[in-house]
């Protein structure tokens, strides 16, 4: 029962996708096949690490940026700001 529901839901999503996104008009599914198997991947447990670091920032933001590339210079300036915020 649940497998049939998922199949109908998938068909519905695919048909609605072409209505809402013009770039997906060429993507049409005439037939959807689902293989039912007793084997399923084991879900990996992802630990949410939200700890406060108990160390001081050892880097300093008093370095000179000696480059002509403006894009690279902007990235180093952003890095300096991050270092200053962590001190």
Mean of pLDDT over the chain: 78
> Domain boundaries in the chain?
1-36, 59-87
pTM listed for this prediction: 0.36
> Whose CA is closest to 83, among 64, 62, 61?
61
> Whose CA is closest to 27, among 35, 19, 38, 39?
19
- At 20-56, the pLDDT tens digits run 877 777 776 677 777 777 766 666 666 666 666 677 7
Residue 77: pLDDT band by 50, 70, 90 thresholds? very high
């Amino acid at each position: 029962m649940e497998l049939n529901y998922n199949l109908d839901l998938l068909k519905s999503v695919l048909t609605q996708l072409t209505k809402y996104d013009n770039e997906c008009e060429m993507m049409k599914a005439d037939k959807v096949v689902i293989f039912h198997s007793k084997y399923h991947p084991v879900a990996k447990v992802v630990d949410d690490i939200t700890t406060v670091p108990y160390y001081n920032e050892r880097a300093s933001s008093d370095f000179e940026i000696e480059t002509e590339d403006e894009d690279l210079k902007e990235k180093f300036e952003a890095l300096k700001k991050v270092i200053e915020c962590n001190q």
